[in-house]
């Protein structure tokens, strides 16, 4: 089984277990999903409505995570509004004990401060990681997981960063890329100079550790 932490398009491949992103205004048309308010898509007139939908969905057994949500300093939406919406979502993640899939751009210090203050007590995964080893270490030292996909395929120098991440702290994803999760696994195995079956076992264990309180396989059995 290949595990895809984060995608916006279901592949419907039997050998792939994927968490498909569905925003509050999108219908749930997939087996397993995450849901949250992306900082790019904050509509201040509809935040309360969207939060109510998210809270309802977090109670569903096939809703595996909150997200993607987070902070992005490179967009026009004021950071204080982003922080307010993000914190309200973390409160829900804590209440329903759901892992959080994070969109994070140039806001590590803010993320760290919010996590320390709110103490959500759930796994938090920075998806689409693309930065250097120093940033990776800061995130890892503060308890975050890292998910790799698009930039691992696109940016050669990221292979060395990925190779240095501890085995129990990474996941793989496709997000919006055209390539499949099998392509990401192949690149990841090459980057770590590792047999792909060994990599599959590592990612499976990490996925199950993060989502140990929820999730079912395609036959309806708990995957842990």
- CA 211 to CA 122: how far, in whole Å? 10
| 141 marked as binding residue | no
- CA 21 to CA 101: how far, in whole Å? 10
The CB-based long-range contact list for 186-190 (8 Å cut-off, 24+ gap) reads: 187/152, 187/153, 187/159, 188/148, 188/152, 188/162, 190/159
| 213 marked as binding residue | no
Specify the DSSP element, H or E, that contains 217. none
121: Cα within 13 Å, side-chain hemisphere: 6
| 175 marked as binding residue | yes
| 103 marked as binding residue | yes
Q: Which residues are annotated as a binding site for a divalent metal cation?
A: 68, 103, 127, 175
Q: Which residues are annotated as a binding site?
A: 68, 103, 127, 175
């Amino acid at each position: 089984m290949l595990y895809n932490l984060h995608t916006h398009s279901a592949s419907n491949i039997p050998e792939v277990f994927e968490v498909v992103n569905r925003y509050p205004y999108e219908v749930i048309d997939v087996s397993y999903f995450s849901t949250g308010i992306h900082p790019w898509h904050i509509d201040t007139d509809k935040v309360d409505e969207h939060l109510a939908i998210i809270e309802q969905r977090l109670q569903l057994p096939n809703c595996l995570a909150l997200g993607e949500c987070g902070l992005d300093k490179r967009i026009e939406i004021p950071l204080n509004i982003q922080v307010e919406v993000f914190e309200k979502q973390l409160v829900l993640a804590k209440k329903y004990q759901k892992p959080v899939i994070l969109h994070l751009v140039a806001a590590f210090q803010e993320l760290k401060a919010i996590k320390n203050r709110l103490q959500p007590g759930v796994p938090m995964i920075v998806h689409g990681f693309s930065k250097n080893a120093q940033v990776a270490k800061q995130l890892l030292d503060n308890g975050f997981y890292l998910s790799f996909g698009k930039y691992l395929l696109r940016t050669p120098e990221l292979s060395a960063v990925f190779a240095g991440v501890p085995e129990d702290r990474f996941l793989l994803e496709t997000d919006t890329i055209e390539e499949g999760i099998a392509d990401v696994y192949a690149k990841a195995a090459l980057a770590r100079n590792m047999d792909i079956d060994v990599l599959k076992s590592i990612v499976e264990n990490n996925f199950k550790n993060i989502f140990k309180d929820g999730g079912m396989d395609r036959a309806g059995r708990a995957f842990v």
